[in-house]
Structures are given as C-alpha cells and as structure tokens.
Structure 1
Amino acid sequence: MTVSSARRTSGLVISSLEERNTSWRLGIDFKPIARTLIYANVSKGYKSGSFPNLNGTTDASYRAVTQESVLAYEAGFKTDLGVRIVQLNGAVFLYDYKDKQLRARVVDPLGVFGAVEALVNVPKSRVRGAELSATVQPLPGLDLNGAVTYVDTEVTSDFQNFNPFGAPANFRGEAFPFTPKWMLQGSIDYEWSLTSRLDAFAGVNASHRSSTTSAFGRNAPASPYPYSLLLVDAYTLVDGQIGIADPAGRWRVTAFGRNLLNRYYYTDAFRQIDNVARHVGEPRTYGVRINYNF
C-alpha cells in the first residue's frame, strides 16, 4: 500500500502475524428418563487473528488484530415431555471473550479524516443469554414452531475508542453492535392431501428483532451528530406461502409473500464519509417458486 503526505513517507508496508493456541472442551450428558437429555459443557476456543478487509486511508486501517479467545459455558435440555408430538429444547449460556475482534475506529495518521474504520481488539467482553424452542405436531400434517432467544452483551473492561462521528469515549459497559436483546420466531405449517396424486400446503411465519445499535458510541460525549442516527429500530416481519405438491416429492409449486404487513425497516446504519446511510429491507413482495427433482 502506498501513502503520502507532509507527515508520512510513502512506501510498501509488509506485515505478518504468527500465533498459536490450543482449544479444548469438556461436557457431560445425563438422561434422567427416556427421550430426555440434560447436558452441560465448558470449552475454550479461538478465532484466528487477521488483517481487515475494508476501505482505509493508510496502513493504519489494515493493521492486524490478534486472535480472540472465548471461554464458553452452556447448559441445557432436550425433551419431548413424554409426548411424542412435542419437542422442547432450552439452554442458557455465558461466553467470556478476550481480545474480541470488532469493527471500531483508529486515528487517521494523515490528520485529514479524523477517526477512520479499522478492526480492533476489545480487551474483555462477555455474552450471556438463553434460548427456548418448541415444536408441536397436534395433528397429522400440522406443525407449530416457536423460538425465543435472549442475548445480553457487554464490554467488561476499559475500551477507549471513537464513535463513527469521531467522538472519543470509554465504551466500557456498552453492548456489542448488531446484537438485539430479543429475537422471536414462530410458524404454522399445514399440509394435507387433495387427491391421491396431489397434496396442498399453506403456512405463515413471523419473526421479531428488538432494537440494537450499529456501532459503539452510546457513551460518547455529545457531538453535532446525534447518536440516534446509528440506532437500528425493532421490527417484525410476517411471511406466508401456499401451494401444491406431488405426494412423491417430484415437484412443488409455491406462491409466497414476504413482509406481508409491508413494514418499513432497515438492517443497519453506518457513517460513510460525511453522511449516514441505511440498508433498507424489502417491501411487501410476492412471487411463485417451482421446484422439480429430476
């Protein structure tokens, strides 16, 4: 990479990263009754260090981050409650991270662009949460599914950095970007026989994500740009489908609708030079899908 300025000489920047680690896992499974499993495990894992792939102004944005490590604890169960039409799964978990890799900012050494994007190591952080899912088949061909996930993330050590508008702050106590606390999903699907040579099916599913952020900076001091520009609002989506199929599975015709309530939503928000942009989700969309197995 070549850079030039009054303060910085140009030239080729060559860098390398060499690391080693050892992963491990311990677990225990217990079956108190038939078709019921209780488990617990603890493990240590690593994500290799890397050089970021992003738009940068100098080699400062491309400096390598070291490997991150996680000590993960998880306990849960899987059971049908003694009734074969039900399947219930649940778990709680705690992940302790060291040097977690997240996108943040570094100071532009050219002194032109302020705080520029980079991949950085967060010294210490953690994720804790729980999840529960259930599947019920009360009638032949009828499937009811539901799931809920709760995730609470936090930077647990001092982490001095910049928000996307260049305001410096200690982000200790902040949540990770793009980590909504609540995610819910549910679906109803029914398939039945029209004739000996033709099946029909219909279904609807809904999903919900609570609000989150797209960057660190909630604790940064006030700036001319409100931090609310970086929030990602909660949204709920409803999809549906209906169609016919060959009972032997050779072909399937599906008419589908996505975002049936035509909700306006966006999946992220980010600063790009001197503006804030958002990726907006698709509006209400209809279509037909044909599948054929040769």
Structure 2
Amino acid sequence: MERQFFHFLLLNVVIGCSVEALNALPKCVRIRSGRPDDELRIAFTMAKELMNPLGISHENNLLVACDVNNSRELIGWAQIRSIGYAGYSTDPDRFEDGDVSLKSTGRRAGPSKLSMEREVDDLMWEEFEEDPTPFPNGFASLPWSKEYSAASKAADDRLARRKELLQVELDNTPKLWELSSVYVVPSWRRRGIGSELVRQVLNRHVANNQIGRDIYALTLAKNLNWYEQFGFKCEEKVPEAMAFEMTAGNAITKLIGEQLVCIRTRLR
C-alpha cells in the first residue's frame, strides 16, 4: 500500500530535473486533447527537430499544451500510441499473460496475430461443418434458387461473425504502448510543461482502462533521469515494433554525439 501511494505521488508531482525546473504549470498555459488540425503542425515540428514525425494522431491518447487565449498556438505535446500486443512479445513472461486466452473460442493463441486469426478460422470451420444449411448442388446452385440464396446468406453471416469474433479478441488482448512525440517549444521549456503533459497522458491511459499497462519510450540517455520520475527504466529488449525507429534514431543521434535508449514503465 505504501509503495502504491508513493508511486501515485510520484506521478502527480512535477519534479525538477536536468530537462525542466520545478515549476507549476504556467497560468497562461492549458492542456487539451489533440485535434485533427494539430497533426500536421506537430509532424512538421518533429521533423525539423530530427524526431520521428510519424504516427501522430488525435485518435491516439494525444495531449497538447497551448496558450489559454489561443488554443491553436501549440506549446508542447505528448501522446501514447499502441505498438503491438503484449501477449505476442518475444519476452512474454514480463506481461500480464504470456499467451492470450481467446475470449470467444476458449483456446490459447500462439506467438502472432496470425495465430489468433487461425484460431478464429478453426472455430468458423467447425461452425460451417455443423451448419444445417445444405450446400447447393445441380439446379439448386443457380443464383436464383432458394437453396443458393440460403447458402449465400449463411456464408455472409459467417464472414460477419468471423470479423466480429476477431475484433473481440483484439479488443481484449493486452497491448504494448509507446509514449512518443514528447516535445516542448524551446522558449517554453523549464516551466514544468513537459512533466505535466507526460503526467496527464499517463494518467489518462489508466483512466481510459486501456488493456496493457507497459509503456515504452525512446529518449536520449542524458534525459533518462527526467523520465525516472514517472517510473521509467532502461529496457534492453526493444519491442520489434520499435526496432526500426531505434535503429534510425541511433544513426542520427550518433552524428551529434548522443545515445538513444529504450525505456519502459508499467502503470498500475
């Protein structure tokens, strides 16, 4: 209980560090949800700063800091986006459930999304074999026959059911998430804005009851101390979905004498 209380305080207090000083959020700044018209401006700024401009979407858990009197003047932003399924990690023991129990089939999924699709397909095949609707032959196979219409409707129903079952499994499978696009305009830094953005985006992830509480991020090694206030630690095993970004990022950071690291925290 004491550890949970301490963790709660840690997430809700803005702690000064080498990146930002200890300050409350300025009164002239407010934080709001990201909007579609924010995406292009954020991506353009990220590209100029040699940061990953891809995957920015208001449909993610995207928060932006803006001027109180002008919500279009963006001061900073942060988002959490899905990067895959926790049950399919190369190191499943770290997560809530190494294998995924299929909610609708009662089976166990394998190491990939394809395995889940195969499990659902197996179930649909079993239902097809048990379907009392006769398969049309001869004249009954003509498109205008009652038998053909019945078989066609049964096939359409199975396709719709397959799509529904697969979506149920995906919606109930723990995911891995990435805290990304954390940025504050230089003239607004050291005022606690970045800390508040990260704190709120993490809290909203929990409040939205997202399945999967492992949050990853890529950052410069010199900024690691700042992220530790949110429970992040260095992670040696980079998720496959982040491997390309990690490789590309390292190629750039080495040119400026910096080191890119993968970090991870688990929210409660």
TM-score normalised to structure 1 length: 0.22
The structure with the greater share of residues assigned to strand is 1
The structure with the greater share of residues assigned to helix is 2
Q: Which has the higher contact order (CA 8 A, sep 6+)?
A: 2
